[in-house]
Amino acid sequence: MNLQQLSEHMQGAILQGDPRLRFQRYNIDSRLTESGDLFFAIQSRRDGHDFVADAVRRGAAGAVISRDVPPLPTVTALVRVKDTLCALQDLAQHVFGTVRPRVVGITGSIGKTTTKEFTAELLSTRHNILKSEGNFNNHLGLPLTLLRLERHHTTAVLEYAMSAPGEIAALTRIVPPDVAVITNVKPVHLEFFSGIDAIAKAKRELLEGAARPATAVLNYDDPRVRDMAAGWEGQALFFGLSPDCAIRAENIRYLGWDGLSFDLIYQEERRPTRLPFFNRGQLYNFLAAAAVASVFGIPVQAVAEAAGRLHAGDKRGRVYVLDRRIRIIDDSYNSNPAALEEALKSLSRLPSGNGRRIAVLGDMLELGETETGYHRRAGEFAARTAIDLLIAVGPRSRHLAAEAIAAGMDSAKVLYFDDSREAAEHVPTLMQEGDVWLIKGSRGVYMDVIVKKLKERG
Ligand code: ADP
């Protein structure tokens, strides 16, 4: 689209610039602006209008604004709209309607990004895919993703995230999914909800806002997700470990660092499959992706082959092998009670060269009033697993450390640091040959600084 067409779709007025001008990309962050971009001045935590000049300095060919900005070079396109966020979303909707790919929408408390990546990988064996980059999954990320659609894209694999009721419904109004995937419902972002059932209700908005007809892809082993099929008039496809699932894993074998193998039951077919992951959560993410692949008619052989090519995302369970056979499992992207338990179980199952398994656990944020209880329970859980050293990081994790000791862990094997920076200074000196280190914590705790220091030293 040229400037004239863009402006019409946003119901804007061109203040300056050649109406025939075309743009390379659409962008809302002046720091990421490149030559030829159209910059949208979005009012968020900060007001994007304050960064229009910066965006233009970095090469933006135009900007969409809703209030006056200081004068810009006359060649710079400028479109004035009533509301820049609505303009961005309207434009995205228009582009979506023009290309009209089939849409896979993915939500859930844990594993959205991973499931999105897996799904895109499986579908790309037969389809031209557009997927959300990273976690472009909210009222800004979703439209920005849609604006990357090209005519050759037959399918869009999109992540729908939320931290409050109504947010997913709003995203489905921009783009309703044809296949709606719900990975699980867990205590994540709990501080914004009255309880876990309220989280389930908010996730179900993906089904309510889905296209008609649509297929729901649901985790059977999570009762709150399973129950979402009740009252759903479309097709429902279940994945999980239960025999009731059309897409399931049977005969699971844990192969240590080689991951896990299982029989993939795919509709009526059975296929031995290996996944290069040792975390059972990743198996669920894979099964969700496989279920979507079955909706798209991808043959089981292609799915099983692609399974071996999947890999963990950055900071989402990636393994680094250092000198002296030390291994680091970098799970520093995020943490919550359910994902932490799964990660600790995986750690206990892994072989270690010298027998030492070390868990460095940072605070789990956004749990609301129940946060102390969740940290205590995590400490108790950790004490029952095969961990040789527990390193707790952050004020909430003080409870985790205390409870691990109360539950029987030797206090000499429990360390505590106030924050990740302090931990990063001391922890690397503890590394020994053959160690296995798991690093996990909520994003806001910056456990990745510990991973960085460990890698530097190792
Ligand atoms: P989201 O996009 O929902 O935040 P991610 O795919 O980014 O989830 O994964 C976040 C973290 O949770 C990562 O550390 C990953 O290793 C872990 N994880 C991913 N999927 C699962 C799952 N199904 N169960 C338990 N942990 C998981």
Owner of token pair 């290309």:
99
pLDDT of the residue at 101:
98
- Please tell me the residue having the least CA distance from ligand 1 atom 26: 339
Helices 84-99 and 167-174 cross at an angle (nearest 10°) of 50
pLDDT band (50, 70, 90) for residue 25 = very high
The percentage of the chain sitting over the pLDDT mark of 90, rounded to a whole number, equals 95
- Please tell me the residue having the least CA distance from ligand 1 atom 23: 281
Could you read off the pLDDT of 80-92 as tens digits, one per residue? 999 999 999 999 9
Could you read off the pLDDT of 228-258 as tens digits, one per residue? 999 999 999 999 999 999 999 999 999 999 9
**120 CA to middle of ligand 1, Å?**
16
Count CA within 13 A, CB hemisphere, residue 164. Answer: 3
Which atom of ligand 1 is found nearest the CA of 159? 2
pLDDT of the residue at 445:
97
pLDDT of the residue at 190:
84
The three-point CA angle 128-24-45 to 5° equals 95
Which atom of ligand 1 is found nearest the CA of 342? 25
pLDDT of the residue at 187:
87
Average pLDDT over residues 60-68: 98
Average pLDDT over residues 369-380: 96
The percentage of the chain sitting over the pLDDT mark of 70, rounded to a whole number, equals 100
Count CA within 13 A, CB hemisphere, residue 400. Answer: 31
Average pLDDT over residues 119-123: 97
pLDDT of the residue at 458:
82
Give the residues surrounding ligand 1 with Cβ less than 6 Å away.
110-114, 135, 183, 281, 284-285, 316-317, 331, 333-334, 339, 342
pLDDT of the residue at 354:
79
Mean of all residue pLDDT scores within the chain: 96
Instruction: Output 386 or 287, whichever has higher pLDDT.
Output: 287
pLDDT of the residue at 355:
75
Could you read off the pLDDT of 322-337 as tens digits, one per residue? 999 999 999 999 999 9
Query: Which letter does DSSP use for residue 91 in this model?
Result: H
Average pLDDT over residues 220-233: 97
Average pLDDT over residues 84-103: 97
Q: Is 435 exposed, middle or buried (0-12, 13-18, 19+ CB in 10 A)?
A: buried
Average pLDDT over residues 347-375: 93
| pTM, full prediction | 0.94
Could you read off the pLDDT of 169-178 as tens digits, one per residue? 999 999 999 9
Kindly report the number of other CB atoms within 10 A of residue 32's CB atom: 12
Average pLDDT over residues 340-359: 92
Of 188-202, 265-279, 370-384, where does mean pLDDT reach its minimum? 188-202
Evaluate whether 80 touches 13 at the Cβ level (below 8 Å): yes
Could you read off the pLDDT of 400-430 as tens digits, one per residue? 999 999 999 999 999 999 999 999 999 999 9
pLDDT of the residue at 271:
98
pLDDT band (50, 70, 90) for residue 134 = confident
**142 CA to middle of ligand 1, Å?**
20
Which atom of ligand 1 is found nearest the CA of 284? 23
Average pLDDT over residues 286-310: 97
Is residue 454 predicted with pLDDT exceeding 80? yes
Query: Residue 119, SS3?
Result: helix
Is residue 434 predicted with pLDDT exceeding 90? yes
**36 CA to middle of ligand 1, Å?**
35
pLDDT band (50, 70, 90) for residue 11 = very high
Which atom of ligand 1 is found nearest the CA of 137? 2
Average pLDDT over residues 327-349: 96
pLDDT of the residue at 180:
98
Cα 149 → chain centroid: 20
Rounded Cα gap, residues 83 and 85, in angstroms: 6
Average pLDDT over residues 308-329: 95
Query: Which helix (H) or strand (E) segment is 319 a member of?
Result: strand 318-321
